[in-house]
């Protein structure tokens, strides 16, 4: 299945406006883990006003500041239908923080103003004054413990039909109330976890990579990952 030299196309949405706190590192991790396995990678940056490519294999949508989000909203509404089609067609996608929130139905501000999201996934995010900040550990049945760092004021509540990415062991997660963190739907993962999430959670990275190739994680060549175990145990120890 591992076709040497196969080209994987990564769509990087709004790298200037939606790129906080090292989140671009997720794109680097996917690129390197593909290249180390002999794949070729093309990163297609999508800026406001650009035309989308006709097809892609993996989509990354990072978090942004309020000002960054306001710069992309018009363009995002334009490309929304295509993103919806790709997500439904099981394209691999990783959306972080603001990017995650925008996949939902709407964002409700503190003054009850309802800002529409893309409406691809059935969830709503409510703004609150205080921020949820700190180390996070969640448990997912495929990935085991997933670790990261959260910093968000929005509280996301998933619809009944959606599964969270994991159950919160440490930290706040989607809303600090229902014990869920993020969302996993088809080949799409949405999450509040920065860190960035992928370097210390290579199982999540490889799941996305496998989805982008159309194989299972088990069929991927194992990588060395010599620093990961220790980096993870230190991060876990400093989370409590």
Partner 1 sequence: MRHVRNRAALLAGRLTGAVMRIGGKNSTALPGYIAEKFGNSPLYQMMRQRSFHARIVVTGTNGKTTTTLLIKNILERAGFEVVNNSSGSNLSRGVLTTLLRDKRQGQWTILLLEVDEASMPAVVSAVQPDRIVVTNIFRDQLDRYGEVDFTRHLLEQAIGTAPNTRLILNADDPHVARLAGDDKNAIFFGLDVTGIEALKHDHASDVPGSPETGSPLIYQRRYFGHVGLYRAKDRSFERPYPDVSVSKIHPTSAGQKISLRVGERHAQIESQMRGLYSAYNAAAALTVAYSLEIDIRTAEEAVMNSKAAFGRQESLDYAGSQFSFYLVKNPTGFNQVIQAELQKMVNRPLLIIINDNFADGRDVSWLWDVAIEDIHPKIEVVVSGTRAYDMALRMEYAGRSCQVIEDPLDALGKLAQNNSHIIVLPTYTALLQIRKALNLALEHRS
The site for partner 1 (CB under 8 A) is made up of 16, 19-25, 28-29, 32, 48, 65-68, 70-71, 109, 129-131, 133-135, 149, 151, 153, 194-196, 199-200, 226-228, 230-231, 234-235, 238
User: What SS3 class is residue 54?
Assistant: coil
Please tell me which residue in 46, 97, 142, 152 is annotated as part of the active site.
97
Nearest approach, Cβ of residue 202 and partner 1 (Å):
10
Host H or E run for residue 210: helix 202-213
Residue whose CB is less far from partner 1, 46 or 200: 200
Residue whose CB is less far from partner 1, 117 or 196: 196
On whether the CB atoms of residues 155 and 125 are closer than 8 A, the answer is yes
Residue whose CB is less far from partner 1, 68 or 80: 68
Q: Please indicate whether residue 46 is annotated as part of the active site.
A: no
Residues 6 or more apart whose CB falls under 8 angstroms from that of 32 comprise none
Q: How far apart are CA 101 and CA 86, in angstroms?
A: 18
Please choose, from the candidates 23, 21, 22, 42, the residue with its C-alpha nearest in 3D space to the C-alpha of residue 31.
Answer: 42
Q: How far apart are CA 237 and CA 10, in angstroms?
A: 34
Q: How far apart are CA 118 and CA 106, in angstroms?
A: 8
Question: In the numeric block, which tokens belong to residue 69?
Answer: 């989000």
Nearest approach, Cβ of residue 27 and partner 1 (Å):
10
* Inter-axis angle of helices 25-35 and 202-213, nearest 10: 60
Nearest approach, Cβ of residue 234 and partner 1 (Å):
6
Q: Please indicate whether residue 194 is annotated as part of the active site.
A: yes
Please choose, from the candidates 131, 108, 132, 146, the residue with its C-alpha nearest in 3D space to the C-alpha of residue 228.
Answer: 146
Nearest approach, Cβ of residue 14 and partner 1 (Å):
12
Residue whose CB is less far from partner 1, 216 or 227: 227
Please tell me which residue in 4, 46, 47, 194 is annotated as part of the active site.
194
Q: Hey, which residues are catalytic here?
A: 97, 194
């Amino acid at each position: 299945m591992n076709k040497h030299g196969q080209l994987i196309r990564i769509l990087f949405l709004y790298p200037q406006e939606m790129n906080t706190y090292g989140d671009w590192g997720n794109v680097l991790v996917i690129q390197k883990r593909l290249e180390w396995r002999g794949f070729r990678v093309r990163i297609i940056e999508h800026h406001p006003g650009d035309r989308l490519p006709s097809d892609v294999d993996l989509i990354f949508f990072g978090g942004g500041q309020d000002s960054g989000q306001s710069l992309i909203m018009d363009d995002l509404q334009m490309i929304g239908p295509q993103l919806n089609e790709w997500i439904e067609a099981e394209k691999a996608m990783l959306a972080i923080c603001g990017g995650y929130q925008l996949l939902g139905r709407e964002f409700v501000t503190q003054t009850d103003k309802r800002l529409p999201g893309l409406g691809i996934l059935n969830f709503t995010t409510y703004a609150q004054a205080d921020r949820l900040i700190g180390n996070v550990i969640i448990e997912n049945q495929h990935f085991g413990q997933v670790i990261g760092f959260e910093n968000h004021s929005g509280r996301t509540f998933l619809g009944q039909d959606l599964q969270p990415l994991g159950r919160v062991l440490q930290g706040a997660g989607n809303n600090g109330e229902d014990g869920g963190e993020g969302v996993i739907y088809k080949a799409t993962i949405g999450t509040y976890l920065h860190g960035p999430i992928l370097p210390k959670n290579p199982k999540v990275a490889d799941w996305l990579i496998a989805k982008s190739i159309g194989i299972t994680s088990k069929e991927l060549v194992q990588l060395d990952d010599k620093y990961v175990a220790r980096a993870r145990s230190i991060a876990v120890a400093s989370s409590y």
